């Protein structure tokens, strides 16, 4: 049985792109359109990997990422961030949050800046969950 990968993105085109890559490489894609829905799916489906957009309405991408990384029952799920913002900016924002009293959370397993080549995405998935 193939591994389950949850794609969380509010942009349907980005989801379709990632889902197609997953299907093409024999994974089972699950979709969520925002952070809240993403959290529900994580609990229901227990995916093996999360492909996450961090820039979504209500900051729900970043919130999802931080909850995931601070919840002992979920922190083992690897995350690939696919985003239009540079990795530097994302890490800086996490550092700033930590300075303001938030928890220090580990970096994602992979950070891919858009536009992402399908092969690059597939390679990263393979590297993380085989």
For residues 124 and 5, is the Cβ–Cβ distance under 8 A?
no
- Out of 3, 28, 37, 55, the only residue in the binding site for another protein (CB under 8 A) is 55
Q: How distant is the alpha carbon of residue 15 from its chain centre?
A: 11
Position 85 contacts another protein (CB under 8 A): yes
- Out of 57, 91, 93, 126, the only residue in the binding site for another protein (CB under 8 A) is 57
- Out of 6, 42, 56, 110, the only residue in the binding site for another protein (CB under 8 A) is 56
For residues 83 and 55, is the Cβ–Cβ distance under 8 A?
yes
With contacts defined by CB under 8 A, name the span among 41-49, 65-73, 91-99, 110-118 that binds another protein. Answer: 110-118
**Rounded CA separation 119/101 (Å):** 39
- Out of 6, 7, 10, 111, the only residue in the binding site for another protein (CB under 8 A) is 10
Position 11 contacts another protein (CB under 8 A): yes
Binding site for another protein (CB under 8 A): 10-11, 13-14, 16-17, 20-21, 24, 53, 55-59, 82, 84-85, 113-118
């Amino acid at each position: 049985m193939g591994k389950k990968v949850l794609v969380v993105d509010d942009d349907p085109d980005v989801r379709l792109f990632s889902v197609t890559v997953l299907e093409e490489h024999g994974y089972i894609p699950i979709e969520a359109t925002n952070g809240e829905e993403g959290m529900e799916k994580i609990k229901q489906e227990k995916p093996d990997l999360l492909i996450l957009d961090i820039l979504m309405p209500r900051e729900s991408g970043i919130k999802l990422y931080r909850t995931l990384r601070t919840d002992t029952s979920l922190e083992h799920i690897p995350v690939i961030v696919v985003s239009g913002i540079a990795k530097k900016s994302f890490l800086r924002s996490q550092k700033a949050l930590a300075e303001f009293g938030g928890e220090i959370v580990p970096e994602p397993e992979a950070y891919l800046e858009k536009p992402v080549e399908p092969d690059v995405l597939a390679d990263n998935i393979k590297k993380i969950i085989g």
